[in-house]
């Protein structure tokens, strides 16, 4: 998804993952109407079905890297069953994203911004959620880290049939997607339908 700053891209992702509720209408994800779920049910649905990469990373600052990556598995039993060895998978994701081997015991608050973003990516990918929502996931990554991340991300999408919704200002990424939506296109469709 592409669009100018302030066009509503992040808000739309928040609606899709149920962290924000629509004032009217309904949003269904994988056949589930999110507006009919209570807050805890939305949290459970999100943990099981959606790996999220936030712009602000949302890491637990005093938790270790390993704790942060494994966090979704604590709330998502089905997602956890897809991970035979969670610690091993977390370490493998860190290595694939170019993080040093000893980083798993470091506090998230002690990491550079680029390292924090890669930890957030690993957290979203662990347990192979069926949907990944990524809000500017490459903004803090250097070229090498960005390339490694995209290889892992698109590899998971292809290998497991994962649905990927990504917001980016980087027009070069458009070629990786089956469909690209520009927020002004959505606004135009809404005005035409009214």
What digits encode the pLDDT tens for the residues 16-63? 988 888 888 888 999 999 989 999 999 999 999 999 988 888 999 999
Mean pLDDT of 142-171: 83
Residue 193: per-residue pLDDT: 43
68 falls in which pLDDT band (50, 70, 90)? very high
Q: Domain for residue 3, yes or no?
A: no
Using DSSP, state whether 176 is helix, strand or coil.
helix
Instruction: List the one residue out of 62, 19, 69 whose CA is nearest residue 43.
Output: 19
In a domain, 1, yes or no: no
Structural domain includes residue 4: no
Burial of 110-122, coded b for 16+ CB within 10 Å and e otherwise, reads ebeebbbbbbbbb
Residue 104: domain span:
9-193
Examine residue 153 and state whether it is found in any structural domain, yes or no: yes
Identify any residues that bridge with 32 across adjacent strands, giving them in sequence order: 29
CB 157 within 8 A of CB 164: yes
Residue 48 maps to which CATH number?
Answer: 3.40.50.300
Residue 43 lies inside a defined structural domain of this protein: yes
The predicted model scores a pTM of 0.83
Which residue, among 8, 1, 16, 11, has the nearest Cα to 182 in the 3D structure? 1
Number of domains in the chain: 1
């Amino acid at each position: 998804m592409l669009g100018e700053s302030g066009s509503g891209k992040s808000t739309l992702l928040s609606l899709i993952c149920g962290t924000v509720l629509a004032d009217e209408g309904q949003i269904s994800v994988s056949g589930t109407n999110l507006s009919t779920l209570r807050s805890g049910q939305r949290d459970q649905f999100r943990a099981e079905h959606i790996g999220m990469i936030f712009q602000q990373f949302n890491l637990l600052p005093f938790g270790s890297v390993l704790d942060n990556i494994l966090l979704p598995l604590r709330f998502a039993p089905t997602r956890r069953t897809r991970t035979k060895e969670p610690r091993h998978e977390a370490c493998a994701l860190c290595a694939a994203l170019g993080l040093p081997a000893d980083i798993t015991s470091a506090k998230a608050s002690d990491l550079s911004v680029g390292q924090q973003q890669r930890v957030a990516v690993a957290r979203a990918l662990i347990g192979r959620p069926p949907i990944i929502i990524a809000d500017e996931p490459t903004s803090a990554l250097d070229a090498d880290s960005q390339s490694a991340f995209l290889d892992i991300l698109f590899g998971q999408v292809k290998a497991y049939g994962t649905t990927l919704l990504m917001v980016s200002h980087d027009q070069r990424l458009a070629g990786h997607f089956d469909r690209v939506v520009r927020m002004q296109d959505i606004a135009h469709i809404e005005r035409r339908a009214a």
